[in-house]
């Protein structure tokens, strides 16, 4: 009894501190200091959440910018099953997947002879990347301008305006958020941002 009583008191105190007080304090600070990030970095259009800046979406229609391939289970960009394909460089399945992705890009834009950026044909470790390299966006400019019948320079300027620089001056490479870029593309193309069906409909 002498050892049981202190143990019960200690467990109760730790449960209150670590399970209630500490999470409540951190949640309160997060909601007060940076509520947008604390709530998932959601992108809102016309009062509707159309996605998150942190999780990519599976755009497949050729008049939209395509993101990096996703190998998450069940369906692409599945936030409940983050993970890569785990295929090694010597695995023939990886080579076949890359060949199929190259063929799809060339079929959508047969006159484009530019080198295909590697992030358009290889999936990431998380499968959720919301960004592509600026080079990957640049590669798609001609196709999108042609299909939407708008000047190529306007689409290129849109990419330039949405490009984010190298982190801390030396990490990574310039990149763009695919969902934000596609929403801006619809806005430029129609004069009114299109949000109908944007989340998870395969666009």
- 12 & 64 share domain: no
- 1 & 52 share domain: no
pLDDT in tens, 19-47: 999 999 898 888 887 777 777 788 888 88
CB 8 within 8 A of CB 16: no
> Which tokens hold the place of 164?
């984010």
- 49 & 34 share domain: no
* CB-facing half-sphere around the CA of 144: CA atoms within 13 A: 28
- 51 & 119 share domain: yes
As for how many domains the chain has, the answer is: 2
In a domain, 196, yes or no: no
- 27 & 92 share domain: no
In a domain, 202, yes or no: no
Per-residue pLDDT, 4: 83
CB 134 within 8 A of CB 159: yes
In a domain, 199, yes or no: no
In a domain, 195, yes or no: no
- 65 & 121 share domain: yes
- 10 & 74 share domain: no
- 102 & 150 share domain: yes
Q: Where do runs of H (alpha helix) occur along the chain? A: 4-16, 22-33, 35-38, 92-108, 134-148, 152-162, 178-190
CB 129 within 8 A of CB 68: yes
* CB-facing half-sphere around the CA of 167: CA atoms within 13 A: 5
Burial class (CB in 10 A: 0-12, 13-18, 19+), 35: exposed
- 30 & 87 share domain: no
Structural domain that includes position 6 = 1-39
> What CA–CA distance (Å, rounded) separates 112 from 147?
14
- 28 & 88 share domain: no
pLDDT in tens, 123-146: 999 999 999 999 999 999 999 999
- 48 & 35 share domain: no
Proportion of the chain above pLDDT 70, given as a percent: 92
């Amino acid at each position: 009894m002498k050892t049981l009583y202190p143990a019960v008191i200690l467990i109760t105190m730790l449960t209150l501190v670590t399970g209630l007080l500490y999470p409540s304090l951190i949640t309160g600070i997060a909601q007060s200091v940076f509520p947008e990030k604390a709530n998932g970095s959601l992108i809102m259009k016309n009062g509707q959440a159309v996605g998150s800046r942190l999780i990519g979406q599976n755009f497949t229609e050729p008049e939209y910018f395509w993101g990096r391939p996703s190998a998450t289970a069940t369906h692409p960009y599945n936030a409940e099953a983050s993970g890569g394909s785990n295929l090694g460089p010597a695995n023939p399945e990886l080579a076949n997947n890359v060949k199929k992705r190259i063929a799809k890009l060339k079929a959508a834009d047969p006159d484009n002879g530019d080198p295909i950026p590697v992030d358009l044909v290889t999936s990431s470790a998380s499968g959720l990347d919301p960004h592509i390299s600026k080079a990957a966006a640049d590669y798609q400019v001609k196709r999108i301008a042609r299909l939407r019948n708008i000047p190529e320079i306007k689409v290129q300027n849109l990419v330039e305006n949405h490009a984010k620089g190298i982190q801390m001056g030396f990490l990574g490479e310039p990149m763009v958020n695919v969902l934000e870029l596609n929403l801006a593309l619809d806005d430029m193309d129609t004069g009114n941002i299109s949000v109908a069906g944007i989340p998870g409909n395969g666009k």
